[in-house]
């Protein structure tokens, strides 16, 4: 394993106020034997636990992230967190690995649960910085707004190129339509 020092380390105050530190502290309160988040070894210990106990780790991530899912008749959200965990390779339907079997959730519902003026999406491209805020993201109509459509027309870009680089594309799963993305093409 590479033991080179990290290229950058956050200031202790910044690390202590991070979401990762908050997650470690929550796991400790739940009885997971991790060092305190202020301990430099806490992050390495979290990584080790995630590798050694992937089902427990990902169940904790699900709960901590507040994933919204349908409840099954017995009140649980899934049948098993991990099936076929001894086979961490490209999945095979019967052998696994399969994650959160039996879980049913609505992707858009989970994306739209936040509200407010905080940025939901930030995109930097040739046109500069653009973004969408949580407030109103659920009202974003399918398709492009006039300004975005004009930019696409001026560039002579095709749909795949445009959609792959548009901040509005990231909201396209919200319209309930089938969607895909491709890498943008670069011409010399």
pTM greater than 0.95: no
In this predicted structure, the answer to whether residue 117 has a pLDDT above a threshold of 60 is yes
Question: What are the domain boundaries of the chain?
Answer: 10-52, 68-105, 111-175
Taking residues 79-100, report their average pLDDT: 88
Report the phi/psi class of residue 116: left, alpha or beta, with left for phi > 0 and alpha for psi in -120 to 50. Answer: left
Query: Is the pLDDT at 5 greater than 80, yes or no?
Result: yes
Query: pLDDT higher for 159 or 20?
Result: 20
Helix H or strand E encompassing 129:
strand 128-133
């Amino acid at each position: 394993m590479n033991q080179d020092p990290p290229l950058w380390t956050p200031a202790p105050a910044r690390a202590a106020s991070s979401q990762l530190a908050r997650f470690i502290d929550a796991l400790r309160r739940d009885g997971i034997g991790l060092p305190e988040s202020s301990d430099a070894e806490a992050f390495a210990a979290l990584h080790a636990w995630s590798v050694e106990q992937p089902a427990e780790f990902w169940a904790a991530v699900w709960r901590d992230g507040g994933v919204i899912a349908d409840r099954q008749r017995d009140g649980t959200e899934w049948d098993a967190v991990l099936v076929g965990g001894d086979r961490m390779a490209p999945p095979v339907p019967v052998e696994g690995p399969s994650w959160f079997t039996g879980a049913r959730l609505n992707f858009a519902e989970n994306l739209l649960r936040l509200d407010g003026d905080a940025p939901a999406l930030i995109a930097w491209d040739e046109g500069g910085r653009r973004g969408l805020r949580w407030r109103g993201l659920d009202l974003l109509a399918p398709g492009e707004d006039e300004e975005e459509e004009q930019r696409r027309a001026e560039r002579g870009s095709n749909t795949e190129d445009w959609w792959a680089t548009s901040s509005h594309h990231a909201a396209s799963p919200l319209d309930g339509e089938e969607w895909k993305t491709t890498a943008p093409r670069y011409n010399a």
